[in-house]
Amino acid sequence: MSGEAEANRYLSLDAIRGVAVMGIILLNAFSFTMPDAAYINPLAWGGTRAIDVAAWGSNFVLFEGKMRGLFSLLFGASMALVIDRARAKGEGGASIHYRRLFWLLLFGLAHHLLIWEGDILVQYALIGMIAYVFVKRSNRTLRRWAIGLLALSVLMHVGMIAGSYALKALAEAPGASAEARKGYGEMLNSFSKPGSKGVREDLETYRADYPAILAVRAGEMRGAIIGTIAIFGLETLGLMVLGILLLRNGFLTNGWEAARYQRWAVRSYVIGIPPLIALAYWNFAIGFDTHAVFATWAAWAEPFKYAVMFGHASLAMLLLARFAGSPLVARIAAAGRAAFSNYIGTSLVMTSLFYGYGAGLFGHVGRAEVYLFILAIWAAILLWSKPWLERYRYGPFEWLWRSLSRGETQAMRRDS
């Protein structure tokens, strides 16, 4: 492979990671700015206008779950690439891998406790430790495991929702017991019901000062981490395995013909987008019923979101190959190389703007207006990442992570 081709391959991986981290920010913004219930249900908070519902619909169809999935996929690919590079240098791939994930776990715990409870790094560190066993597997084995794990995730979530409908039937049956009705009511509250106790508690908590928010995070941290892994662990592992496969088979390194990327993008969108549009319309038509909205988010949309995620990845690779030399792609790739710094930096900026110890905007900005903050964050990321990386080898947090993982301070400046 020529040096130029090798450069393009790394550019493609960095650029699609940049797309993924900006997509993660697009979704996370609604968790930074309003009660958790609003992330799933637009009527729970800040979403009564037509423009707000439209914003929810576009996110649901095109981005919700797809950007997190794409980021998980890229994490698996990057993990395999780091291990491959370590082995090529005669270093222990397992040693490098587990040291990196140990420090990522500590970063994630600190991020969750001290900055923002929506952290995903802890899950990536723990699931990544399991994913190591797949790095040496054949493409055929990787394909089987990726499909199997994602299918098992879908079945688990469908089973969970089936159980919730069984409880609903018990609670709404003639002569239902007070205990059944109470249990169903508590379940609806846990499903992000508009006006629920959870909404009121979120408003009270995140409009408070830092010590109060820290105390709530500390009390809920263990349960939140366990719950997140229980719900998303199978999916995350399946997507990491898929990422390893797509690195190995050339998909993520622009090793496919353009026509092949195009075919997969079209097929994926045809499979995924129409059902998601139908589900979005159904939720709108029934007035965003709490149970239906949660069931849609947790189970009904899941297989289709994987299709759209793969469509996004295919389209991104197609466009990146075509516009590899453009200034915009260079800036997106730089954002991807500094993804860790951009992820943590966004948490610092958004919590400072919205939480009570900062500007105190939590719950005071409508869903549509949140996009103004998203665009500002995107602009900042695209503006700072490339000039920084032209001068320095790593983003700030990437440098710290690498130095801790290697047990020695890494050269930072490019002229050093």
The tens digit of pLDDT for each residue in 19-50 reads: 999 999 999 999 999 999 899 999 988 778 99
Encoding tokens for residue 341?
């710094």
Q: What is the pLDDT of residue 416?
A: 61
Average pLDDT score over residue span 89-98: 87
Best CA proximity match to 276, nearest among 234, 319, 311: 311
Mean pLDDT of the chain: 92
Phi, psi of 13 (to 5 degrees): -65, -45
Torsion on CA atoms 310, 315, 316, 320, rounded to nearest 10: 150
Inter-residue contact 21 to 350 (CB < 8 Å): no
Identify whether the C-beta of residue 69 lies closer than 8 Å to the C-beta of residue 77.
no
The answer to whether residue 308 is domain-embedded is yes
Separation between Cα atoms, residue 69 and residue 302, nearest integer Å: 11
Residue 16 forms part of a structural domain? no
| Dihedral-angle region of residue 35 (phi above 0 means left; psi in -120 to 50 means alpha; beta otherwise) | beta
**327 falls within a domain:** no
| Structural element, H or E, at residue 44 | none
C-beta separation of 46 from 363 below 8 A:
yes
The answer on pLDDT for 2 being more than 80 is no
pLDDT recorded at residue 123: 97
Q: CA angle at residue 342 from 268 to 225, to 5 degrees?
A: 75
Q: Is the pLDDT of residue 4 over 70?
A: no
* Domain-embedded: residue 329: no
Contacts of 18 (CB under 8 A, 6+ apart): 331, 332, 333, 334, 335, 336, 337, 339, 385
Confidence band, pLDDT 50/70/90 cuts, at residue 191: confident
Q: Are 117 and 221 in contact (CB under 8 A)?
A: yes
| Residue 1: Cβ within 10 Å count | 9
Q: Looking at residue 5, what is its pLDDT?
A: 35
For residues 164-174, average pLDDT: 90
Displacement of CA 354 from its chain's centroid (Å): 21
Count the Cβ atoms, other than its own, within 10 Å of residue 325: 9
Instruction: Judge whether residue 365 has pLDDT over 50.
Output: yes
Most distant CA pair in the chain, distance: 78
**Structure tokens of 241?**
């395995």
Task: Give, as one character, the DSSP assignment of residue 411.
Answer: P
Whether residue 356 contacts residue 207, with contact meaning beta carbons closer than 8 Å, is answered with yes
β-partners of residue 392 are 413
Position 175 confidence tier, pLDDT thresholds 50, 70, 90: confident
Residue 416 lies in a domain: no
Task: Kindly state the percentage of the chain with pLDDT values over 90.
Answer: 80
**How many domains is the chain built from?**
1
Examine the pLDDT at 8 and tell me if it is beyond 50: no
What pLDDT sits at residue 3? 37
What distance in Å separates the CA atoms of residue 190 and residue 163, rounded to the nearest whole number? 14
Spatial CA neighbour of 27 closest among 283, 362, 343: 343
Q: Report yes or no: 122 and 109 within 8 Å, Cβ to Cβ.
A: yes
Q: Is 379 exposed, middle or buried (0-12, 13-18, 19+ CB in 10 A)?
A: exposed
Average pLDDT over residues 287-306: 94
Q: Which residues contact 148 (CB under 8 A, 6 or more apart)?
A: 238
Residue 6: inside a domain: no
pLDDT value at residue 7: 41
Helix (H, G, I), strand (E, B) or coil at 413: strand
The answer on pLDDT for 245 being more than 80 is yes
CA atoms of 215 and 228, how far apart (whole Å): 20
Is position 261 within any domain?
A: yes
The answer to the question of residue 3 being in a domain is no
Rounded Cα distance between 13 and 32, Å, is 28
The arithmetic mean of pLDDT across residues 111-131, rounded, is: 96
Cβ neighbours, 10 Å, residue 6: 11
Positions of E strands within 105-195: none
- Cα separation, 160 vs 165, in Å, equals 9
Q: Show the tokens assigned to 398.
A: 């990437």
Identify the band that residue 368 occupies on the pLDDT scale cut at 50, 70 and 90. very high
Query: Is the CA virtual torsion 245, 247, 249, 252 positive or negative?
Result: positive
Query: What is the span of the domain harbouring residue 294?
Result: 21-315+334-406
Q: What is the pLDDT of residue 11?
A: 84
**Over residues 261-280, mean pLDDT:** 97
